[in-house]
Structure 1
């Protein structure tokens, strides 16, 4: 491997490095894409952090960007993300990771053999222990398996394989989360993630029709190509960020995902419109984080404005009750 793009640091950035920065301490390295950083991924990370502490190593993660399947054209759904890179790094830091190595995945990198991956990437980093999931594969065409990490390192790297995590008898996976979101099952998606599904974006100008109906909405343009849940209405919580990136305030809300069939023709752009409870003010240009909790109903076309307004009122009351109960249970 002559050159590759690398991002590395204590959840920070060193870009375009031609050589890997070694660490003074050896690494206990969790390796994977970790799309969603779900409860199965969290178990991999927790074991890496625990082993690092036991063996006097530094806990770290190696991940890839963008998704290998998207680059190789194996599955178009992986052009969307559950957790953009910055969010992923923040979640890994919360789990106790001290360094993240982000490999820019492209077709050249995909040609690297499993042996070169170990000898020219992992060993120079000072990896002493690798922690991987049960379905781990690496190198050209996935030729390398967990046991290859030890074999190609001449035994210098020990390997810990973490078995699958199950929820309600089914294996936890990023694919399953995507499927649940596609069905609108935000509650199960949250259980699989270990937290609510979050979409971050900026408030942009819309047609201001919600204000005319008595329910002003924030029209949110997502920052990244997130996996968008099924069209419909959801109970959500919303964090409003300041210009410095800190959470300024949090609110319960009702979110409509869809094309607004009462007003717009079929086939239009899917929009994210949130009506925040107990909020007054101008949100244009502000960053919001939408935490999606519960699916209330599918999107539908109404015969008139009065029927639509009545349903919005019902949706809002249902969302308030659900979110208040959720808040009470968490306290």
Structure 2
């Protein structure tokens, strides 16, 4: 998949567009931030890909980095369901051939919706634009699908994808966050269309898990992921140093039994049937099932006993999941 960076120059009051991004035959463009690339987002991208094939256009996505809320000071510590590299990988699996990445800056936030269409979309050669039902753009979010069509002089066929519902609930990034915050990772995974996952590098810790008889890999996250409810989960793990996907348990939280109050949440993974050195290796952890909330135990012996029960329950849970898949 081709990737091109687009920037807005306040000094020149124009967009800097790589010449290679302007395609002969035009572009069918899905536009959005697409945090999570959930089922609703996937429908927007698929529609753009389908239209591209029907019309002989290049299937493309226009997305933004960093998140507008961070740039505008509305959310200093914004977290994501799917980090930027992961989004690009998912776009490619959906059939996208070109990703246009627009750097979101305070200057760009002042660009009117009309200028966004006239000075960016039209010069790009966008023939089809596909957006979600709630998509807004331009300064103060005043632009919508109708304005996009009018500002282009009807040169752009703007298509709006209606919301996707699953089990009676609208699929949205907000809903997925709410489910993860409640520990309902199976339901969140259904809305995502895949298990919720995090990626990170294994770093040295206090080796307490090894002392307790359950060696753990301490994960330093690669991106500012949204952290699900503190507790213990059954997970599957892939990555460097692991020949095939492995089951395990992860503890997400503050480790109240062994650590002082406060501090940042830790993610510690215990892998089943594995021995080896994972320090410095990059792992992907997929959350399959919530087992229990994090709790403080009266003694290390009580903690060890509970970890053993967690591992047994996780093995059973993952075994059932595997049998359903097969």
TM bin (shorter chain): over 0.9
Q: Cα deviation per residue 1:146-166 (whole Å; 9 max; x = unaligned)?
A: 111110000100111000011
Q: CA deviation at 1:19?
A: 2.6
Q: CA deviation at 1:321?
A: 0.8
Cα distance in 1, alignment partners of residues 101 and 223 from structure 2? 18
Task: Write out aligned runs for 1:279-294 (5 A).
Answer: 279-294=274-289
Task: Kindly indicate whether residue 252 of structure 2 is the aligned counterpart of residue 261 of structure 1.
Answer: no
Cα distance in 2, alignment partners of residues 44 and 252 from structure 1? 33
Which position in structure 2 is the counterpart of 1:62?
A: 62
Contact 2:62 2:99 in 1 (8 A): yes
User: Given the two structures, how large is their TM-score scaled by the length of structure 2?
Assistant: 0.94
30 and 81 in structure 1: CA distance in 2 versus 1, 3 angstrom threshold: same
Task: Write out aligned runs for 1:1-331 (5 A).
Answer: 10-14=1-5, 18-20=16-18, 21-76=21-76, 79-241=78-240, 248-331=243-326
Q: CA deviation at 1:55?
A: 1.3
14 and 66 in structure 1: CA distance in 2 versus 1, 3 angstrom threshold: closer
Contact 1:11 1:89 in 2 (8 A): no
Alignment partner of 2:237: what SS? strand
Alignment partner of 2:179: what SS? helix
User: Given the two structures, how large is their TM-score scaled by the length of structure 1?
Assistant: 0.93
Cα distance in 1, alignment partners of residues 2 and 124 from structure 2? 16
Cα distance in 2, alignment partners of residues 298 and 137 from structure 1? 38
Unaligned runs of 5+ in 1: 1-9
Cα distance in 1, alignment partners of residues 46 and 265 from structure 2? 37
Alignment partner of 1:316: what SS? helix
Cα distance in 1, alignment partners of residues 57 and 3 from structure 2? 19
Contact 1:241 1:249 in 2 (8 A): no
Q: Cα deviation per residue 1:171-218 (whole Å; 9 max; x = unaligned)?
A: 111111111111111111101100011100000000001001110000
Unaligned runs of 5+ in 2: 8-14
What count of residue pairs does the alignment treat as equivalent? 317
Cα distance in 2, alignment partners of residues 325 and 280 from structure 1? 24
Q: CA deviation at 1:74?
A: 2.9
Tell me which stretches of 4 or more aligned residues in structure 1 moved more than 6 Å: none
Q: CA deviation at 1:249?
A: 3.0
